[in-house]
Amino acid sequence: MMIDVDQVKLLIQSRRSVKPNFYTTEIVSDEIIYDMLESARWAPTHGLTEPWKFFVFSGNYKHKLADFLSELYQLKSSVNFLQTKYEKIKTNILKTSHVIMIGMQRQINGKIPEVEEICAVACAVQNMQLTATAYGIGCYWSTGSMSTHSETKNFLGLREADVCLGMLYVSNYTGEIITPKRTPTLEKTVWIKN
């Protein structure tokens, strides 16, 4: 099978983290979200455990998530509480078309190490981000806003051994997204050869 490498590289390099201040109110179709989830399931997974579990919040259900996360922030921040942050947690979610909460489900037998299961979920999330990029849709993986707290995991119905790895915001957007600088390849490589 031949796939145009330049197109693949263009897709990889074009993916950007697009944050809520760029989002428009135009809703992303559920078909596109489904396609992203479909790409996720083709991620590499040691032992074929497929440890990902995604929770897609859209429409009025985003209020449930926004209220839960902002109230959790209020509960846990005590003296460091900032009203602006409390509001931002809510508004970021409400201005996003779909919020996909990213779960990692451990196998009961625990055969595959947790770090490998987390890596597999990260690969699945990258597949979703690349698919969104191909559709011209913005998305952004956030581990903030209490999304990785153990109580968020309980809220989603995940078990004790599982982890919530954050949230993927998905939205239509407008504006120019800056490309952050990357380190030259060979500075990040030890190439052992003759």
Residue 59 lies near ligand FMN (rule: CB under 6 A): no
Chain positions 63 to 92 lying near ligand FMN, rule: CB under 6 A, are: none
Residue 142 binds ligand FMN (CB under 6 A): yes
> Could you tell me if 117 and 162 are in contact, meaning their C-beta atoms sit under 8 angstroms apart?
no
Distance of alpha carbon 95 from alpha carbon 140, whole angstroms: 13
Q: What amino acid occupies position 99?
A: V
| Residues in Cβ contact with 85 at an 8 Å cutoff, skipping those fewer than 6 apart | 73, 77
Task: Tell me if 177 sits within 8 A of 16, measured CB to CB.
Answer: yes
Stretch that binds ligand FMN, among 24-32, 66-74, 107-115, 137-145 (CB under 6 A): 137-145
14 binds ligand FMN (CB under 6 A): no
Of 23-31, 63-71, 108-116, 142-150: span binding ligand FMN (CB under 6 A): 142-150
Burial 94-122 (b: 16+ CB within 10 A, else e): ebbbbbbbbbbbbeeeeebeeebbebbbb
Element (H, E) at 23: none
DSSP state of 142: E
Q: Which is nearer to ligand FMN, 28 or 125 (CB)?
A: 125
Considering beta carbons, is residue 24 or 143 the nearer one to ligand FMN?
A: 143
Does 17 bind ligand FMN (CB under 6 A)? Our answer is yes
Q: Which helix (H) or strand (E) holds 133?
A: helix 114-134
Determine, following the binding rule CB under 6 A, whether residue 188 of this chain makes contact with ligand FMN: no
Nearer to ligand FMN, 28 or 163 (CB): 163
Residue 141 in contact with ligand FMN, rule: CB under 6 A: yes
Residue of closest CB approach to ligand FMN:
17
Identify which range of 25-33, 68-76, 105-113, 140-148 contacts ligand FMN by CB under 6 A.
Answer: 140-148
Residues that bind ligand FMN (CB under 6 A): 16-17, 141-144, 166, 180
